[in-house]
């Protein structure tokens, strides 16, 4: 196995975040994931945290500046008691009160968009404009209707202070030009959706909408964006910045096999995971770093053998090893995803994972301590059959659509502990089952 610089950087970075979180936010919930910028909920507070050495050189992109913007519009429904501090001389922290309410995206998905007090929305944007703040993050998911009916906004990253008349112009602009095309302004987009009272759409928490036409889905369009990435995020850059030619070549091969998988089945785009590093980035429909961070908060992979069912491009194989697993045995019914998964593991320096082509309708994967079943393609297999497979293992990580049914069945199979780790889409959750009572032969 080659010594992957990608793996070394990942392990060092995640250990740094784990140390910070265990010391300052031991019972927190991750809300947003970034390499050096993350958002947590801790009881009744929200913490936006940045690793100081990675802070932007632009003062207006720093948390301290965002704090000054929020403080300048503090009052009424927008009262969130913001504070800024530096912890251990390295971590920049913006704290705010947690907002009890529901965001406009959720109202839309639930068919309740008319509950948005539209005139209060205009009034709040007007107040922000009069304070001279251009609100760059004005989006449905950042607009909250409080339990008392008030409106509040979150996330002022990238916003800036200017003259009130200019702020008014930008915040209320009905259209703007982006990448050579005219687009609806963000406030106008919310208002148009409210007027239409749009019916719920099938969407994941990242805003990826399901579409009967795979070539029009957000997942497919996101995959196509990879062709136009800046050079600093392409595989070849790993060789340039990290002097790791082996990892770069494996990433090139991985992307080649992903292209083959997508050409064979455009719907496979929904299985592609996003990868985010300073020197390499891949856009994918699955917010993998966010998903994996939540899984890792509940599960220890240390020195365990793991079976991954319908592995796709192999996120589990690579990241379980990065999290301490002994070996991962990946199964898929198609060769191109397996080839992509093999190269992703090798890009991170793990050449001893195993990848097997298998029809799960007929094949029982090999014994191990833990099994993961996170692919949406597993919904094409009867859930009882998937249950029969996963319940052969001491620990189960399973993405399901019916939490109550899966929990009941796993308890009946002898698992003493079944917890919901997270919601990954409007209809899908990830469960973790452990402490199986029945003795298993392996």
**Residue partners of 292: CB distance under 8 A and separation at least 6:** 315, 319, 323
- Gyration radius from the chain CA atoms: 23
Residues 11 and 61 in one domain: yes
Alpha-carbon distance values, 352 to 317, 343, 348 (Å): 10, 11, 12
Residues 39 and 170 in one domain: no
In a domain, residue 207? The reply is no
Instruction: Give the angle subtended at the CA of 310 by the CAs of 306 and 313, to the nearest 5°.
Output: 90
Number of domains in the chain: 4
**Domain end point (choices 60, 79, 97):** 97
Please, what is the angle between helix 335-347 and helix 245-264, to 10°? 160
Nearest to 84 by CA among 108, 112, 65: 65
In a domain, residue 164? The reply is yes
Alpha-carbon distance values, 108 to 148, 190, 194, 205, 319 (Å): 19, 10, 9, 13, 34
Alpha-carbon distance values, 96 to 31, 147, 264 (Å): 14, 17, 47
Quote the pLDDT of residue 440. 46
Quote the pLDDT of residue 1. 63
CA 265 to chain centre: 23
Residue range 91-109: average pLDDT?
92
Domain range for 43:
5-97
Quote the pLDDT of residue 52. 86
In a domain, residue 233? The reply is yes
The rounded mean pLDDT for the chain is: 90
Interatomic CA distance for residues 321 and 345, integer angstroms: 9
Quote the pLDDT of residue 78. 80
High-pLDDT (> 90) share of the chain, %: 77
Residues 81 and 136 in one domain: no
Tell me the per-residue pLDDT of 138-161, one tens digit each, with 9 for 90 and over.
999 999 999 888 899 999 999 999
**Domain end point (choices 282, 306, 321):** 282
Tell me the per-residue pLDDT of 24-79, one tens digit each, with 9 for 90 and over.
999 999 999 999 999 999 999 999 999 988 788 888 899 999 999 999 999 876 88
Residues 303 and 386 in one domain: yes
In a domain, residue 39? The reply is yes
Residues 296 and 432 in one domain: yes
User: Phi and psi (nearest 5°) for 431?
Assistant: -105, 155
Query: Six-digit token pair at 117?
Result: 């007090």
Residues 262 and 292 in one domain: no
In a domain, residue 378? The reply is yes
Alpha-carbon distance values, 325 to 290, 293, 321, 339, 340 (Å): 19, 15, 5, 21, 20
Quote the pLDDT of residue 77. 66
Residue 209 has pLDDT above 80, yes or no: no
- Provide the strand spans (E) within 3-90: 29-32, 37-42, 45-51, 83-87
Query: Six-digit token pair at 400?
Result: 């399901």
Interatomic CA distance for residues 282 and 19, integer angstroms: 27
Quote the pLDDT of residue 269. 94
Residue 104 has pLDDT above 50, yes or no: yes
Quote the pLDDT of residue 204. 42
3 state SS of 37: strand
In a domain, residue 442? The reply is no
In a domain, residue 174? The reply is yes
In this prediction, residue 251 has a pLDDT band, given cuts at 50, 70 and 90, of very high
- 210, burial (CB in 10 Å: exposed 0-12, middle 13-18, buried 19+): middle
In a domain, residue 89? The reply is yes
Tell me the per-residue pLDDT of 256-287, one tens digit each, with 9 for 90 and over.
999 999 999 999 999 999 999 989 999 999 99
**Domain end point (choices 282, 300, 333):** 282
Q: Say which range, 42-56, 288-302, 361-375, has the weakest mean pLDDT.
A: 361-375
Quote the pLDDT of residue 179. 64
Judge contact between 380 and 322, C-beta under 8 A.
no
Residue 319 has pLDDT above 60, yes or no: yes
Residues 56 and 24 in one domain: yes
Residue 180 has pLDDT above 80, yes or no: no
Residues 31 and 115 in one domain: no
Quote the pLDDT of residue 56. 81
Which CATH number covers residue 157? 1.10.510
Residues 173 and 133 in one domain: yes
Residues 296 and 430 in one domain: yes
Which CATH number covers residue 73? 3.30.200
Residue range 366-384: average pLDDT?
93
Quote the pLDDT of residue 57. 84
Residue 210 has pLDDT above 50, yes or no: no
- Spell out a b/e string for 62-74, using b for 16 or more CB atoms within 10 Å of the CB, else e: bbebbbbbbeebe
Strands 83-87, 275-276: pairing kind: unpaired
Quote the pLDDT of residue 34. 93
Residues 40 and 114 in one domain: no
Residue 165 has pLDDT above 70, yes or no: yes
Judge contact between 271 and 375, C-beta under 8 A.
yes
Quote the pLDDT of residue 442. 38
Residues 246 and 122 in one domain: no
Judge contact between 286 and 274, C-beta under 8 A.
yes
Quote the pLDDT of residue 205. 42
Which CATH number covers residue 399? 3.40.50.150
Residue 214 has pLDDT above 60, yes or no: no
User: Phi and psi (nearest 5°) for 361?
Assistant: -70, -20
């Amino acid at each position: 196995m080659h010594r992957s610089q990608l793996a070394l950087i990942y392990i060092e970075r995640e250990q740094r975040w784990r140390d910070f979180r265990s010391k300052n936010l031991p019972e927190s919930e991750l809300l947003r994931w970034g390499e050096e910028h993350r958002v947590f909920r801790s009881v009744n507070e929200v913490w936006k945290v940045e690793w100081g050495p990675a802070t932007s050189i632009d003062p207006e992109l720093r948390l301290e500046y965002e704090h000054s913007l929020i403080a300048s519009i503090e009052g009424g429904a927008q009262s969130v008691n913001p504070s800024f501090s530096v912890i251990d001389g390295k971590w920049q922290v913006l704290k705010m009160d947690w907002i009890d309410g529901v965001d406009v995206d959720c109202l839309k998905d639930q068919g309740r968009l008319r509950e948005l007090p539209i005139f209060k929305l205009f009034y709040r944007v007007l107040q922000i404009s009069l304070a001279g703040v251009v609100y760059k993050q004005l989006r449905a998911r950042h607009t909250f209707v409080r339990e008392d009916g008030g409106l509040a906004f979150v996330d002022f990253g990238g916003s800036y202070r200017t003259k009130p008349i200019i702020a008014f112009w930008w915040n209320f602009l009905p259209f703007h030009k982006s990448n050579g095309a005219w687009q609806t302004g963000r406030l106008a987009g919310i208002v148009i959706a409210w007027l239409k009272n749009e019916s719920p759409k099938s969407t994941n928490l990242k805003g990826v909408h399901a579409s009967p036409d795979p070539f029009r889905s957000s997942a497919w369009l996101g995959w196509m964006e990879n062709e136009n990435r800046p050079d600093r995020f392409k595989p070849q850059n790993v060789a340039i910045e990290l002097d790791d030619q082996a990892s770069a070549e494996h990433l090139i091969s991985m992307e080649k096999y992903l292209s083959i998988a997508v050409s064979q089945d455009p719907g496979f785009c929904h299985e592609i995971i996003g990868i985010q590093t300073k020197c390499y980035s891949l856009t994918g429909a699955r917010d993998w770093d966010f998903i994996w961070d939540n899984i890792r908060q509940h599960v220890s992979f240390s020195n365990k053998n793991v079976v991954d069912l319908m592995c796709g491009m192999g996120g589990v194989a690579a990241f379980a090893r990065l999290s301490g697993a002994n070996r991962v045995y990946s199964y898929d019914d198609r060769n191109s995803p397996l080839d992509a998964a093999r190269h992703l593991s090798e890009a991170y320096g793990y050449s001893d994972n195993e990848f097997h082509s298998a029809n799960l309708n007929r094949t029982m994967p090999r014994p191990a301590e833990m099994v993961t079943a996170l692919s949406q393609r597993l919904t094409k297999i009867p859930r009882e059959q998937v249950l029969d497979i996963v319940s052969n293992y001491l620990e189960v990580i399973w993405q399901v659509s019916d939490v109550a049914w899966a929990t009941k069945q796993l308890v009946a199979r002898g698992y003493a502990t079944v917890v919901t780790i997270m919601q990954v889409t409007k209809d899908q959750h990830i469960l973790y089952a452990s402490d199986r009572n029945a003795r298993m032969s392996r």
